[in-house]
């Protein structure tokens, strides 16, 4: 019955997504245009999982099927609707991998990505090994592929954080329901998150325990405190491993840390407080892992990413310890734009706050009912240690939520499931279904709220391809708004400039003008690309001129003697003559 329900939800959900008219997507994203049949399919998927969870005998294969359907229906909306990669960064990442594949080397002075080349090098190796040089298909379907790859690591981690398998399966389900951040595209963050979750699952499963012997007053006090706080500690998994096997797995953990270090700037630093707190709470006896987690990224930054370090000292350390700066970048500066965009921002903040609040309630319930909760609670709060360190371009709070979610999800569902292995009753199942429905609807709103900005049309891709065919090598290319699907071709062959960032304008910012564009034009001339997504971004974020971006471009084109080189439904390309005193 529940397998049939999953199949019906899959067919109905995909069909509903295929009926969406992309021209109707506005400032609030997909929530405005999704048909009622989509929410029926989503509801069937949720009911199917809760029903499968409530069976007397758990059937793992059935729960996996339910989760796969949820991944496709909830996290596969963009590729199913648009059939193109989402986010301009996806196209940039394809260009970096192509550059490494074609040149066989790195250019660390080109930009920051080449200082953390692990993920891009892997893409280049896969491309060369398979002979498939166009990885657009991989970037398109990455949201589904990444979430499927995360499933084994999430389940292994949840099984060690929970008191019974039902809670673990429900925790994984809640993770997918509440995962609105959208970092599951073809990106170093997705790769590093997979490595991090695999590492943590390995540590909690194979190496639980205290990293020091029972000697000394401090050790005894810490042990006593942990025992008082968490009475019902999880039982250790009995593994029939030799000493050599444990050594090999410890080495694998170190390799996973090294993989994160060369792939992503932030994730290794998120691992430090998590591993440290797990060791202090008696959940990891690998005392060297927190130390290694600190040494590896620091040494990489100093010795391998030297060009980036020397050029971004102020960015890296200028706001160190400044909580107000971090809060402004992550909260205040993001609340802006059109009313619809502000609604999306508040929806994201509200969902994050609700998940963390429910995780807190789950921790209290776990302590009262003597169920394992401490490791999950520590994993939830550990990423907040990064908050006063660096704003990470205003995205730090989003990443903190992403890193804490696998732990918080296990706590959110804890009060709704029985303590023992027995199935939940009708009331608990109803409450779980109701909570899942609310969170899933909120995630649809929050995850796809910027869909008009984050997705592109085939005409825009064709426009960017035409730009590369007409612009001579080494030319300056200007985008009106930093929301362009480009840089996928000849990554290092052009100089790129941006007129407006894709973020709400701050008070006191000077509005763009024709002179602002002229300042970006060298004496040899330049090309300007204006796309439909850029125009949407300027309108939704209120970052453009008061007269509108299109009117500004038309006026500047007349005044400056620009020539239109190409136009299609996706936008226009202009050639800008060289400025007398250009750069």
Could you read off the pLDDT tens digit of each residue along the chain, which spans 583 residues?
888 999 999 999 999 999 999 988 988 899 999 999 999 999 999 999 999 999 999 999 999 999 999 999 999 999 999 999 999 999 999 999 999 998 888 888 788 888 899 999 999 998 888 888 889 999 999 999 999 999 999 999 999 999 899 999 999 999 999 999 999 999 999 999 999 999 999 999 999 888 877 666 777 787 777 788 877 676 666 777 888 989 999 999 999 999 999 999 899 999 999 999 999 998 989 989 999 999 999 999 888 877 777 665 555 555 555 555 555 555 556 667 788 888 998 999 999 999 999 999 999 999 998 898 999 999 999 999 987 776 666 688 899 999 999 999 999 999 999 988 888 989 999 999 999 999 999 999 999 999 999 999 999 999 999 999 999 999 999 999 999 999 998 899 999 999 998 888 777 677 888 999 999 999 899 999 999 999 999 988 888 787 889 999 999 999 888 999 999 999 999 999 986 655 5
State the pLDDT at residue 39.
96
Q: How many residues does the chain have?
A: 583
Residue 261 has phi, psi (to 5 degrees) of -65, -40
The predicted structure's pLDDT at residue 321: 54
Alpha helical stretches, state H, 373-529: 374-381, 396-412, 426-447, 451-454, 458-470, 514-518
Answer whether residue 493 is part of any domain. Answer: yes
pLDDT for position 313: 54
| DSSP 8-state secondary structure symbol assigned to residue 25 | -
Write out the residue range of the structural domain in which residue 472 sits. 458-576
3-state secondary structure of 320: coil
| Structural domain contains residue 564 | yes
- Beta strand 571-576 pairing with 526-531: antiparallel
| DSSP per residue, 219-236 | HHHHHHHHHHH-SSPPPP
pLDDT of residue 467: 96
Enumerate long-range contacts of 208-215, CB under 8 Å, 24 or more apart. 208/160, 208/234, 208/236, 208/237, 208/282, 208/283, 208/284, 208/285, 209/236, 209/282, 209/283, 209/284, 209/285, 210/282, 210/285, 211/279, 211/284, 211/285, 211/286, 211/287, 212/287
Q: Helix 118-130 to helix 243-263 angle, to the nearest 10 degrees?
A: 100
Tell me the C-alpha distance between 517 and 538, whole Å.
Answer: 16
Residue 222: per-residue pLDDT: 78
Read out DSSP for 94-159? Answer: HHHHHHHHHHSS--TTT-GGGGS-HHHHHHHHHHHHHT----HHHHHSHHHHHHHHHHHHHHHHHH
Nearest to 82 by CA among 153, 21, 16, 154: 21
Instruction: Say if 542 falls within a structural domain.
Output: yes
Decide if 508 is inside a domain: yes
What is the model's pTM?
0.94
- Asked, for residue 62, whether it belongs to a domain, the answer is no
In a domain, 518, yes or no: yes
pLDDT (0 to 100) of residue 471: 94
526-531 and 495-500 as β-strands: parallel, antiparallel, unpaired? unpaired
The whole-number pLDDT of residue 325 equals 53
**For residue 423, what are the β-bridge partners?**
none
Tell me the pairing of strands 476-481 and 495-500: parallel
User: What local confidence, expressed as pLDDT, does residue 391 receive?
Assistant: 64
pLDDT at residue 337, as a whole number? 78
How many CB atoms neighbour CB 287 within 10 A? 14
What is the number of domains present in the chain?
1
DSSP-assigned beta bridge partners for residue 567: 572
378/385 Cα distance (integer angstroms)? 11
Residue 159: inside a domain: no
What is the model's pLDDT at position 496? Answer: 94
Residue 507 makes CB contacts below 8 A (sequence gap 6+) with none
How far apart are the C-alpha atoms of 63 and 416, rounded to whole Å? Answer: 18
In a domain, 557, yes or no: yes
Residue partners of 482: CB distance under 8 A and separation at least 6: 88, 498, 500, 501, 502
Decide: 362 and 373 in contact? Cβ < 8 Å: yes
DSSP 419: S
Cα–Cα nearest to 282, from 213, 217, 364, 198: 213
Mention every residue, 6+ apart, whose C-beta is less than 8 A from residue 574: 527, 528, 529, 530, 553, 557, 562, 563, 564, 565
């Amino acid at each position: 019955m529940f397998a049939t329900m999953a199949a019906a939800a899959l067919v109905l959900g995909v069909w509903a997504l295929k009926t969406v008219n992309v021209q109707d997507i506005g400032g609030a994203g997909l929530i405005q245009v999704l048909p009622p049949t989509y929410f029926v399919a989503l509801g069937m998927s949720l009911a199917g999982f809760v029903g499968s969870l409530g069976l007397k005998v758990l059937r793992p294969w059935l729960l996996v099927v339910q989760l796969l359907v949820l991944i496709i229906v909830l996290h596969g909306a963009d590729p199913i609707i648009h059939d193109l990669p989402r986010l301009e960064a996806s196209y940039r990442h394809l260009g970096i991998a192509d550059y490494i594949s074609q040149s066989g080397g790195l250019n660390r002075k080109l930009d920051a990505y080449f200082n953390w080349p692990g993920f891009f090098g892997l893409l280049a190796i896969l491309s060369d090994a398979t002979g498939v040089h166009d990885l657009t298909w991989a970037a398109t379907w990455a949201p589904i592929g990444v979430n499927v790859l995360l499933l084994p690591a999430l389940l292994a981690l949840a099984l060690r954080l929970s008191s019974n398998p039902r809670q673990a399966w429900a925790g994984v389900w809640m993770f997918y329901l509440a995962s609105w951040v959208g970092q599951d595209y073809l990106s170093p963050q997705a790769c590093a998150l997979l490595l991090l979750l695999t590492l943590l699952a390995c540590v909690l499963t194979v190496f639980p325990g205290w990293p020091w012997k029972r000697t000394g007053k401090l050790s005894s006090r810490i042990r006593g405190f942990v025992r008082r706080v968490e009475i019902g500690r999880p039982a250790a998994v009995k593994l029939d491993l030799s000493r050599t096997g444990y050594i090999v797995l410890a080495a694998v953990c170190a390799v996973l840390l090294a993989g994160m270090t060369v792939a992503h700037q932030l994730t290794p630093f998120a691992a430090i407080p998590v591993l440290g707190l797990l060791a202090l709470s008696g959940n990891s006896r690998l005392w060297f892992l927190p130390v290694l987690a600190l040494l590896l990224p620091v040494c990489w930054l100093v010795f391998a990413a030297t060009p980036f370090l020397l050029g971004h000292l102020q960015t890296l350390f200028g706001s160190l310890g400044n909580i107000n700066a971090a809060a402004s970048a992550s909260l205040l500066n993001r609340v802006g734009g059109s009313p619809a965009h502000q609604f999306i921002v508040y929806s994201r903040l509200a969902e994050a706050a609700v998940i963390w609040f429910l995780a807190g309630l789950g921790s209290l319930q776990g302590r009262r009912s003597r169920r394992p909760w401490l490791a999950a609670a520590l994993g939830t709060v550990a990423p907040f240690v990064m908050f006063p360190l660096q704003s990470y371009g205003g995205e730090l709070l989003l990443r903190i939520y992403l890193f804490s979610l696998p732990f918080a999800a296990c706590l959110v569902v804890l009060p709704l499931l029985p303590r023992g292995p027995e199935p939940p009753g009708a009331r608990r199942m109803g409450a779980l279904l109701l909570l899942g429905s609310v969170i899933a609807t909120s995630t649809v709103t929050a995850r796809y709220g910027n869909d008009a900005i984050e997705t592109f049309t085939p005409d825009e891709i064709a426009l960017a391809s035409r730009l590369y065919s007409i612009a001579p090598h080494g030319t300056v290319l200007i985008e009106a708004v930093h929301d362009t699907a480009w840089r996928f071709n000849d990554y290092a062959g052009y100089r790129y400039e941006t007129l407006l960032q894709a973020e709400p304008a701050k008070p006191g910012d000077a509005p763009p003008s024709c002179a602002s564009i002229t300042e970006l034009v060298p004496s040899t001339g330049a090309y300007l690309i204006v796309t439909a997504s850029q125009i949407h971004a300027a309108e939704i974020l209120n970052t453009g001129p008061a007269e509108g971006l299109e009117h500004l471009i038309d006026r500047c084109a007349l005044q400056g003697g620009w020539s239109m080189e190409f136009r299609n439904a996706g936008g226009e390309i202009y050639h800008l003559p060289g400025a007398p005193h250009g750069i």
